[in-house]
């Protein structure tokens, strides 16, 4: 069994979804960690969930990045610990310097909330090592600031380093399905070591087949398999 630390900031609203996914559906030891804590504890995996940390004041993730717990998340990541940032969590990881780039307002200037298709671009991370490169997952998005932006140099480095983990695609599986205008249709990236991943879509919202797709559980199961954790049969 793996211990999963789920961070909670003022304004987090997907923390309970993540807790349910890991604790109830996947049978792991899921624990909430309040943003004022100085440590993530004896965690095997840290999840920075979605929501509107600190009301997205200044810009999304900008204040949460300075929360006491984030200092330990940076330490945890530096020692090889697995860290996943989802939606607002992705924004926080970028603000904290754990991932490059920034998430800007959606190109449409509208909140995007729908299922999208994600193509697995890299399996060089525990979160996708059990998946197949090129396969397409269906995962929902719900964000107003998911427009991933970086310099051309940084984008080229991400591409060359196999660090683009997920890319938005259309019904035919080719790029072009971005709901937010992200550069090169990027939906998720990893750090150079592969232990830190940020993604805008919400895998925690699709972990049970009753929801129409359980593709999100496959991402979580991949990480848990890397950790050697026992996981129940798929729901």
Query: Which residue numbers are catalytic?
Result: 87, 202, 204
Angle at 84 between CA 220 and CA 227, to 5 degrees: 50
Alpha-carbon distance of 187 to 208, in angstroms, equals: 22
Alpha-carbon distance of 199 to 167, in angstroms, equals: 10
Q: Are strands 147-149 and 102-104 parallel, antiparallel or unpaired?
A: antiparallel
Greatest CA separation found in the chain? Answer: 46
Alpha-carbon distance of 22 to 5, in angstroms, equals: 10
Angle at 82 between CA 227 and CA 52, to 5 degrees: 130
Alpha-carbon distance of 105 to 109, in angstroms, equals: 6
Residue 112: closest CA among 178, 67, 15, 52: 178
Alpha-carbon distance of 165 to 200, in angstroms, equals: 11
Alpha-carbon distance of 75 to 207, in angstroms, equals: 29
């Amino acid at each position: 069994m793996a211990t999963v630390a789920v961070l909670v900031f003022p304004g987090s609203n997907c923390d309970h979804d993540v807790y349910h996914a890991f604790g109830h559906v996947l049978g792991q030891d899921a624990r909430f960690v309040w943003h004022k804590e100085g440590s993530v504890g004896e965690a095997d995996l840290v999840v920075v969930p979605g929501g509107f940390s600190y009301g997205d004041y200044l810009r999304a993730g900008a204040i949460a990045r300075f929360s006491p717990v984030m200092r330990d998340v940076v330490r945890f990541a530096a020692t090889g610990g697995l860290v996943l940032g989802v939606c607002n969590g992705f924004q926080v990881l970028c603000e904290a310097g754990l991932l490059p780039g920034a998430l800007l307002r959606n190109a449409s200037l509208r909140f995007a909330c729908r299922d999208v298709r994600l193509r697995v671009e890299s399996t060089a991370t525990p979160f996708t090592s059990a998946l197949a490169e090129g396969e397409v997952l269906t995962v929902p998005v719900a964000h107003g600031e998911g427009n991933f932006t970086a310099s051309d140099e940084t984008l080229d480095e991400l591409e060359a380093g196999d660090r683009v983990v997920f890319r938005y695609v259309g019904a035919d599986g080719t790029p072009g399905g971005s709901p937010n205008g992200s550069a090169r249709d990027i939906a998720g990236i990893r750090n150079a070591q592969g232990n830190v991943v940020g993604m805008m879509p919400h895998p925690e919202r699709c972990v049970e087949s009753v929801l129409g797709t359980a593709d999100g559980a496959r991402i979580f199961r991949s990480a848990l398999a890397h950790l050697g954790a026992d996981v129940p049969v798929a729901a």
